[in-house]
Structure 1
């Protein structure tokens, strides 16, 4: 019996966020390229050692990335957007990669960054490849070979390189020149490059290569499915085994095609709902390997290895050629649980981060090889959940709790009369840059070096200054700037019951942007108001309206590591009830506009169409439960970003927010087409500039953008705002960008 252990990839950030620190220092000219490269090399070396020391049979290489792995694939294939090919230095290098991801300003023009969107149903983001019918490809970025040579030189064996597959790569990209054609027409340009890379692998004595084709978990057309047969027939080589890797969902619905693909093995995500392993058992030839992704790569709970052993035992004995693995890459979980020295042992013993998941994979593999379930006895999840009366509270929810008093049209008239909002009102999404003084004060407070009173005085000073800044800029609707918040989810979870927090549990969201997801370990409820004090204080400093700022129930749920003993729907209801209480308290405190952000709304959508409506029902109801408690004169906003709105636009309408603000600038406003097509009825604030780059659009640029919006939407229902929060920018960039935005809006307002 052949049973081998491997993983689909490790986090590439470093245990102490070394990559983020080095990236940002390089971007700020604080270190040179050599120092940046040394950081990457050290992280890769550490990840190789982790895999070897934990006992994995195959060592993954190629999971490292300077920004994201899809962008790496674009660079590898020489697919650089045409606007960047105009630069004098046409050689693809790491600066090219960063420019495509972050945008670039030359002496002559501003080059906008490529679009960024969610990686399937995760909070990881990728840079969207751009294609035209005449796109030229060549093997330009050879980092995969450099990393292989690096591992070989360090004397690692059984190396398994990882590549994003050519079909999924094309699927994930977009056509940019307006000429309609099938992206599959580009396959014949790409495949010779993959064959060339395969030859390089063979020259290095590589036996297995992992090719990720996650779109096989989707509902894809017959033409795209047939492309898999063509591609892997073309790439087939008897001396190089291909492990075709899928994740985030079942592939059972596509199994009749998958069984005929010329590969040596298939990886299956056995953790996702509806994995349907029994369907796959007899469909794939017994001469092929099956890689069982039985260790959850997206959550931090310790695996019940005994249960997994029992569930797959017969399958393993029947198939005989088996890999034991994680369900997906471990980039979605923190690096090392052992760093959490301050965590209560009663909680810590139930968790498993990336390094610990490698141990679980090896332990389960060992038990199966030796036919000894007894070796798994120490890997036991201990129940510590405490039930409360929240189940009874959730059961009392009625239909009337999920709707406003009147329809949007009625509310629109009432709000315009009472709130006196101008045409093309200007505002921001919520956060402003946090000063060094503020960050130091927060750290000192956490370390008990300053009093709560002193810390709060620093927050008040910041809010007062932010209100003053916005008034000087001429913004119509103000925000308090969120100085008290470290992260939009972590802050709220710190003030709700039922959450646990890590000290070093960082997970990459995109580029150098990391989040530290809280862990839901019990029933969620609110003991006292969270934001009311700061919103009320901000409103007292101005005669203009100040928005209350909340994070929505779906985003808090999905951007946390969720408990697994009850359904997500129950947890989202608990969060929604807590937020409902907060919304009502804000209204009672005189806050007339309340924004409930839901950037993760699209993220929770199941991959397959037949499961989507069930998700929409409970996700929409959770939002409405939190927001529908207010009177008609109180205006509810929501914000969403980096989503494919084509999939969710009808559900966005069902949210019944008075105003929805969205990201559209990176996508060259293509996301607005679906809102236009469906005739979105409520007010909308399409972001007019991208805040994730250093680029500062001119007044003229912004006016042109607003004019596009006026052609699509009723001008009386358009809001003018950046496409996301401003926390990641510096004050110089923020002031100039917002100044230009306000001038552009007011100039057009005066002409309407």
Structure 2
């Protein structure tokens, strides 16, 4: 046996990379300071892996923002509009991810989408007909030299050519296959350079093989690797797959001259079935993904060993993680506030390194007591159960998932109730979590202020943001969510069944980290969660104020789930808890309630053939369960962002919400055409500007965008809002952008009224 992992977390145990990068963006630190911080983190991570006796240590998995962006940047896939800015290489790189704005120039960021079925987001590379694919970057090779200087034997890592092309956006006449020859040449150049550096292994990440592949997809994959592998020289090439299975090309892959094939044996049983049915070549190395890289529970050694033995592989095996460990926090030993009954069952990145090492020892006949200790541990796990929750779930009927009257009738009732203008404006929920907001929360946690002082600070903030929205002319207001640390963590803290980490940070995108709750027991609500702050905000204004909730699917998908019950069972429990909150808000005369589901697509199986039976058939009803009991006059909104929704439009319409807001600006409103084609019936708010970029759109720019929207969608169905919540922006950026958005909407609205009269 040999050991490896696919990738390692990169934000830093205490989010050092986040702070170093943001200081550079804010011109509080130099380029040299940022690059030094990054280099120090790489060295620490490599040393940690070496200390854990990991044999093949990945190099190239570290990124200042995103590894897919890294690959595109290294291969000269940079649209001309960014090159025209004349920036340094580092600032040009960040402009692709964040956009750029100066007194004279303004360029939007590239689209950002979910990384397969995770909460990580990648930057979508953009090819046009003039894109000249070639190797220009040195990042991978520079880091190889760093690792070697540290005494590390590196396994080079980069996104594979097939996945790079499949995840990219093509805006000209040329498509992926047209760029294949140049892409192959670029990867050949990578192999040649690694050969000169005497690197033993190159890991090419190809998770796009998990999708249902068409004949053209398979032809593209085979053409790429049929030629590329002929140029590998002395470098061993590992085809690394994760998040699913490679059933569509498995028989082809085992015939190609790969030196190693990496398969995920955690996410699905399908890869196990493939190996058992078709065998595995003795002349190739199986990189067996047996330690879960996405969840935080200890590995059950006996089960893993049985799985490996059942494969009956005759050739060499490398024990590995199922995917990159970037999807879990760093160190479970830091979670000293958790009960021992919970803490002992956790395995974060550091613990997973130890698990791989101990499994290696057991399988090599060198067990030092790890198997017996692990077996004893699994005999002690006790998830708290609730008879009341079980009874409530068992009593559900079809009527609990159906809202009456039908949406079209509700739409008329709500229009009469609210008397909103055409193109009503709103925001998605949160306003900037500025330094003073974070400090207020920290002081309460440290006992430096009383709960009343903490609440009064938040009330003052709510009052201020309500006054801003009234002055700006926003039609439907929000309270700003100042009391919330995170849209999932906040609700988890108020519900039974969750536990929370102190340092469990996981990268979501760029410098954005989240601290996912852990679902430990049955979930229920024991008291109202949002009623007090929402009612306070409502009483400050004569305008409508939205109640803001996080939906059950998102709470589940953005938490670390327990593994002893099905996802459907867990989501249903959460849905009932949020249903109670919806009904309490309605009872307090909150007429508009937004139930956010940005993560609806996140656990969608990667293969379309599995979408409904394995996920949507229970995820969509869970959302309906939350709101089915409200009155016709109560308007239910939901929000979704940073993913591809066009292919599940019908399922989204079936959520039976009254209004749905989407991320749309980074994708140039391409979603609008998909809504029209699907005859989408829900009122819709396509995001008119990107809140993940610091650039502030002008009134003219936003007016143009709104006119594009209403050229395709009925004015009576359209709401105007940003792409997402404003939490991560500064107040200056948020207030100016929202004001511009409202003014643009008013200009278009006046034109509509002038042309059509009142609607």
Interval containing the TM-score (normalised by the shorter chain): over 0.9
1:137 corresponds to which of 127, 133, 137: 133
Q: Which residue of 2 aligns with 1:110?
A: 106
- Aligned runs of 1:564-643 on 2, under 5 Å? 564-614=563-613, 615-643=615-643
Q: Deviations over 1:99-133 (max 9, x none)?
A: 11000014433111000000011110011000123
Q: Which residue of 1 aligns with 2:42?
A: 44
Cα distance in 1 between the residues matched to 2:592 and 2:92: 42
2:211 corresponds to which of 214, 218, 240: 218
Cα distance in 2 between the residues matched to 1:375 and 1:104: 52
Cα distance in 2 between the residues matched to 1:154 and 1:436: 38
Q: Deviations over 1:204-243 (max 9, x none)?
A: 2211111101111111112221233322232223521111
Cα distance in 2 between the residues matched to 1:87 and 1:638: 37
Deviation larger for 99-108 or 112-121: 99-108
**Aligned-partner SS, 2:270:** coil
1:182 corresponds to which of 172, 175, 200: 175
Contact 2:264 2:271 in 1 (8 A): no
Q: Which residue of 2 aligns with 1:456?
A: 455
1:27 partnered with 2:25? yes
Cα distance in 1 between the residues matched to 2:701 and 2:233: 55
**Aligned-partner SS, 1:377:** helix
Contact 1:309 1:373 in 2 (8 A): no
Cα distance in 2 between the residues matched to 1:531 and 1:640: 21
1:651 partnered with 2:651? yes
1:333 partnered with 2:332? no
Cα distance in 2 between the residues matched to 1:703 and 1:104: 20
Cα distance in 1 between the residues matched to 2:273 and 2:240: 18
1:167 partnered with 2:154? no
Contact 2:637 2:657 in 1 (8 A): yes
Cα distance in 2 between the residues matched to 1:291 and 1:369: 16
Q: Which residue of 2 aligns with 1:526?
A: 525
Q: Deviations over 1:448-484 (max 9, x none)?
A: 2211111111111111111111101110000000011
Q: Which residue of 2 aligns with 1:280?
A: 275
Contact 1:214 1:247 in 2 (8 A): yes
Q: Which residue of 2 aligns with 1:321?
A: 316
Q: Which residue of 1 aligns with 2:6?
A: 8
Contact 1:229 1:262 in 2 (8 A): no
Q: Deviations over 1:480-510 (max 9, x none)?
A: 0001100000000000000010010000000
**Aligned-partner SS, 1:712:** coil
Q: Which residue of 2 aligns with 1:420?
A: 419
Cα distance in 1 between the residues matched to 2:223 and 2:361: 37
**Aligned-partner SS, 2:497:** strand
Cα distance in 2 between the residues matched to 1:319 and 1:164: 29
Q: Deviations over 1:702-737 (max 9, x none)?
A: 111111111111101100011100011111111211
Deviation larger for 739-748 or 63-72: 739-748
Cα distance in 2 between the residues matched to 1:314 and 1:418: 64
Q: Deviations over 1:578-616 (max 9, x none)?
A: 000000000000100000000000112101122101211
2:250 corresponds to which of 240, 244, 255: 255
1:230 partnered with 2:223? yes
Q: Deviations over 1:240-266 (max 9, x none)?
A: 111100010122343122222221111
- Aligned runs of 1:653-668 on 2, under 5 Å? 653-668=653-668
Q: CA deviation at 1:365?
A: 1.3
The CA RMSD over aligned residues, in Å, is: 1.3
Q: Which residue of 1 aligns with 2:443?
A: 444
Deviation larger for 603-612 or 510-519: 603-612
Q: Which residue of 1 aligns with 2:306?
A: 310
1:271 partnered with 2:270? no
Q: CA deviation at 1:371?
A: 7.0
- Aligned runs of 1:63-74 on 2, under 5 Å? 63-74=61-72
**Aligned-partner SS, 2:523:** strand
Q: CA deviation at 1:374?
A: 5.5
Q: Which residue of 1 aligns with 2:755?
A: none
Q: CA deviation at 1:320?
A: 3.0
Contact 2:195 2:233 in 1 (8 A): no
Contact 1:252 1:280 in 2 (8 A): no
Q: Which residue of 2 aligns with 1:546?
A: 545
Cα distance in 1 between the residues matched to 2:94 and 2:404: 49
- Aligned runs of 1:490-569 on 2, under 5 Å? 490-569=489-568
**Aligned-partner SS, 2:667:** coil
Cα distance in 2 between the residues matched to 1:423 and 1:240: 62
1:192 partnered with 2:191? no
Contact 1:500 1:519 in 2 (8 A): yes
Q: CA deviation at 1:372?
A: 5.1
Q: Which residue of 2 aligns with 1:363?
A: 358
Q: Deviations over 1:318-352 (max 9, x none)?
A: 42311110000000000111222222222111000
Q: CA deviation at 1:384?
A: 1.9
Cα distance in 1 between the residues matched to 2:384 and 2:35: 48
**Aligned-partner SS, 2:424:** coil
Cα distance in 1 between the residues matched to 2:271 and 2:385: 32
Cα distance in 1 between the residues matched to 2:152 and 2:271: 36
Q: CA deviation at 1:273?
A: 2.6
Segments of 5+ residues of structure 1 without an aligned counterpart are none
Cα distance in 1 between the residues matched to 2:308 and 2:366: 12
Deviation larger for 593-602 or 608-617: 608-617
Contact 2:423 2:716 in 1 (8 A): yes
Cα distance in 1 between the residues matched to 2:521 and 2:207: 33
Q: Deviations over 1:663-689 (max 9, x none)?
A: 100011112221111121120000111
TM-score using structure 2 length: 0.96
Cα distance in 1 between the residues matched to 2:511 and 2:74: 21
**Aligned-partner SS, 1:700:** helix
